[in-house]
Amino acid sequence: MNNDELLKKVTEKATLWLGDSYDAETRAQVKAMLDADDKTELIESFYKDLEFGTGGLRGIMGAGTNRMNIYTVGAATQGLANYLKDTFKELPRISVAVGHDVRNNSRHFAEITANIFSANGIKVYLFDGPCPTPEVSYAIRKLGCQSGVMVTASHNPKEYNGYKAYWSDGAQMIAPHDVKTIEYVNAITSVDQIKFTPNPELIQEIGKDLDEQYLADIHKLSLNPEIDRKHHDMKIVYTPIHGTGLRLMYDSLRLWGFDNVIHVEEQDVQSGDFPTVVSPNPENSEAMAMAVAKAKETDASLVLASDPDADRVGLVVRDKNGEYQLVNGNQICMLLLYYIITNNVEQKRLDGSEYVVKTIVTTETIKRIADANKIKCFDCYTGFKWIADVMRNMESIGRYLGGGEESYGFLAETFVRDKDSISANSLIAECAAWAADKGMNLYELLVDIYAEYGFSRERGVSVVRPGKSGAEEIVAMMKNFRENPPKTLAGSRVTCIKDYADLNCRNLITGEIEKMNFPTTSNVLQFFTEAGDKVSVRPSGTEPKIKFYVEVREDMPSKDKYEEIVAAAEKHIDKVLEDLGVK
């Protein structure tokens, strides 16, 4: 499609938004875009419709079919409502849970969502205020709902918002439900098809009672309550980074026995503007800076954080010199699974049915830990809906110990089916107390794990390519990697290529092709080298990015060489990225 055809298409779509079915504010915004000499904003707002990706619906807020607003949220909700009514027509009453984070417009979008569901005769359990994403998953399961929605854009910048759709098991949708919902949403071709007028009798607010049940269930995950009590005064800094962790995290740590939790008061303020950070992402050192400063001021043992919807975690520990070091998502997942597995072994709780789950881009060290303890380790696609899919398939035949991914998400329980920072941070605190009981801190425990199971180092790099031209560039980059894959990376021969688009694993040494067992295809490429390195490449499902995940192996002859090996591994990763043409 050339530029003239594109402009004609978006102009026709935008003109429809000038009709009386749209509110005055929306009409004014669209008219301004149509009248502007520069049509960039018009094109970006209307060149496509928002679609469900690995995290559901997500986009910049504003007017347009490619933006988050009451009409795109409304169409998604009406489509989902129609699908639920067709799927569960035998039920006397369909019910859903609806929650939201602290972002600008999140409460408004959640209320619009609740209104539309109720207008369609669906019972709605609406949270009374900002809540963690995992608590919506919990509510769906606890209240016996058929679906649920969480209005959130997770850790994205403040101009974004999003809409996560869940199914009856409390997990985000996968096929066929995500595909079917899209079909039903696409059938909403006019705003007049959306039922905006609510039935208040079908909307019930939920809050404190569910909070207490949720926290009580999370506390049952504790593996060492006596050690928690013994180290109750361990200094822990926690920050919700202006988000929903404020609702439950302090209470959870207190329930687990930790009574010396230090606040970062400026970041306890819930605000969709995230005033103290550039981006509210706990994997970024900038977002953790105020909490680290508070830790230095108070001589705290560790720093915990959660992102705005409290599903992702952040962790900072003290190294052997007393300096505070950010722990990456792979290490957090590895640390928690090591703790859970080791304590299950020590407490003789294993019966042979146990399993753990990690995503294909998460560190392979986890598999080595699981294998050494005779525990099954499943690989799945990126996104907790795929971890939940493994849990669903293993429901009656295995005992879930935990699962996670490199992007700072972990799930320790089965009563939630999405990543959960409330339970993860509680377990991290307990793990720190357990390590302290052995005369170590978490940094030293990490080094011990590497010494026992082998050293690896990981880095994720996201190349941002916004807009229509960016999307086309990302497609071209993936095409080039498939047609011209690297022959060597960091001086080591590429020996295997896994392409999840056709589920073929190609052994470049023998020429053999093996089919991989995954529930569906995915636009992901992986390269493996003789040196034991792994590189994964995939476009993001929720953001205008192409992501590179690099994991390298290095020999670590002794624990006192750890810092040297880390430095060598970072140079190793630099070389891999250079060979991939990533800057």
279 is catalytic: no
Region label for 360, one of left (φ > 0), alpha (ψ between -120 and 50) or beta (otherwise): alpha
Question: Using an 8 Å Cβ cutoff, are 432 and 301 in contact?
Answer: yes
* Homologous superfamily of domain range 48-206: Alpha-D-Glucose-1,6-Bisphosphate, subunit A, domain 3 (3.40.120.10)
- Other Cβ atoms closer than 10 A to 441: 18
Roughly what angle, to the nearest 10 degrees, separates helices 208-219 and 421-437? 40
Q: Which of 575, 580, 570 is nearest to 546 (CA)?
A: 580
What token pair was written down for 338? Answer: 């090591």
Whole-number Å distance between alpha carbons of 173 and 191: 24
Per DSSP (E only), the strands in 217-267 are: 236-239, 261-263
Q: What single-letter amino acid sits at 581?
A: G
Per CATH, the architecture of 455-580 is what? 2-Layer Sandwich (3.30)
pLDDT tens digit sequence for 242-274: 999 999 999 999 999 999 999 999 999 999 999
Instruction: Give the pLDDT of residue 55.
Output: 57
Whole-number Å distance between alpha carbons of 500 and 164: 24
What is the C-alpha R_g of the chain? 24
Instruction: Give the pLDDT of residue 56.
Output: 66
Burial letters 332-353, b for 16+ CB under 10 A, else e = bbbbbbbbbbbbbeeeeeeeee
Residue with token string 């959960």: 420
CATH 3.40.120.10 residue ranges of the chain are 48-206, 214-220+229-453
Whole-number Å distance between alpha carbons of 316 and 282: 10
Question: Using an 8 Å Cβ cutoff, are 568 and 574 in contact?
Answer: no
Alpha-helical regions (H) of 238-395: 245-255, 285-298, 329-346, 365-372, 384-393
Whole-number Å distance between alpha carbons of 260 and 262: 6
Instruction: Give the pLDDT of residue 222.
Output: 98
How many residues in total does the chain contain?
583
Residue with token string 């986009």: 59
Q: Which of 106, 137, 147, 154 is catalytic?
A: 154
> What are the Cα distances from residue 201, in Å, to 33, 111, 195, 198?
40, 14, 16, 9
CA-based end-to-end distance of the chain: 30
Q: Which of 160, 159, 151 is nearest to 130 (CA)?
A: 151
What token pair was written down for 292? Answer: 């680290």
pLDDT tens digit sequence for 359-387: 999 999 999 999 999 999 999 998 899 99
Q: Which of 184, 156, 197, 199 is nearest to 76 (CA)?
A: 184
Residue 425, CA atoms < 13 Å, CB-side half-sphere: 35
CATH 3.30.310 residue ranges of the chain are 455-580
Alpha carbon dihedral 247, 248, 249, 253, in 10-degree steps, equals: 140
Ramachandran angles phi, psi of 366, nearest 5°: -60, -40
Q: Which of 255, 225, 222 is nearest to 413 (CA)?
A: 222
Instruction: Give the pLDDT of residue 52.
Output: 61
Containing 323, the helix (H) or strand (E) segment is none
Instruction: Give the pLDDT of residue 49.
Output: 83
Ramachandran angles phi, psi of 104, nearest 5°: -60, 130
What token pair was written down for 14? Answer: 């935008």
Order across the sheet with 313-318: list the strands. 261-263, 236-239, 302-306, 313-318, 324-326
Query: Which pairs with CB-CB distance under 8 Å and at least 24 residues apart come from 463-467?
Result: 463/545, 463/546, 463/547, 463/548, 463/582, 464/543, 464/544, 464/545, 465/544, 465/545, 465/546, 466/544, 467/43, 467/44, 467/544
What token pair was written down for 435? Answer: 């390590």
Mean pLDDT by 10 residues, the chain (583 residues): 84 94 95 95 90 72 96 94 97 98 98 98 98 98 98 93 96 90 88 97 98 98 98 98 98 98 98 96 95 98 97 96 96 98 97 98 97 98 94 96 97 98 98 97 97 96 87 92 97 98 97 96 97 95 85 95 96 97 88
Roughly what angle, to the nearest 10 degrees, separates helices 329-346 and 421-437? 60
Spelled out in words, what is the top-level CATH class assigned to the domain 214-220+229-453? alpha beta
Parallel, antiparallel, or unpaired: how do β-strands 504-507 and 513-515 relate?
A: antiparallel
Per DSSP (E only), the strands in 294-440 are: 302-306, 313-318, 324-326, 354-359, 376-380, 399-405, 409-411
Instruction: Give the pLDDT of residue 271.
Output: 97
Helices (H) and strands (E) in the chain, counts: 18, 23
Parallel, antiparallel, or unpaired: how do β-strands 492-499 and 488-489 relate?
A: antiparallel
Whole-number Å distance between alpha carbons of 97 and 354: 31
Whole-number Å distance between alpha carbons of 351 and 399: 9
Bridge partners, 261 (sequence order): 236
Instruction: Give the pLDDT of residue 471.
Output: 87
